[in-house]
Homo-oligomer: A and B are copies of this chain.
């Protein structure tokens, strides 16, 4: 079974973490049958943390976990902290394939998304 793990930073604002949970739910609804499981996880502050997020996927039967770091820029969190946490998850679940993509800000589609968002703003409002 295939899982998608969406890793966000985590915030002291519960509403901010809720946005991430709802985003994972939205992605799951949008997806056809590519991913059997879509789970959120948080680098710090909020729960579940990254290893716990992978564990949730594995408990539901995941044998592959695709990771998207929900970050806009390649700071220390993206370059060091998330890879370190994923390595801890790999040690705990050696039979599970865990592959991380680049952070979201590096996606080819980002410039188009920014432009579309800008064009959608009504200056008269």
Give the docked Cα–Cα distance between A106 and B81 (Å).
25
- Given A11-B75, A19-B73, A72-B70, does the pair A117, B107 have CB atoms closer than 8 Å? yes
- Nearest Cβ in chain B — how far from A24, in angstroms? 9
Among A8-31, those with CB < 8 Å from B are: 8-9, 11, 13, 15-16, 19-20, 23, 26-27, 30-31
Binds B, one of A52-60, A83-91, A96-104: A96-104
Which residues of chain B come closer than 8 Å to A8, judged between CB atoms? 72-73
Query: Nearest 7 pairs between A and B by C-beta?
Result: A26-B111, A101-B121, A16-B73, A27-B111, A107-B117, A4-B118, A99-B123
Q: A74–B14 Cα gap in the complex (Å)? A: 11
Name 15 A/B residue pairs within 8 A (Cβ), A-sorted: A4-B115, A19-B73, A19-B105, A23-B110, A27-B115, A31-B115, A34-B115, A66-B123, A68-B114, A68-B117, A70-B114, A71-B72, A72-B72, A104-B114, A107-B116
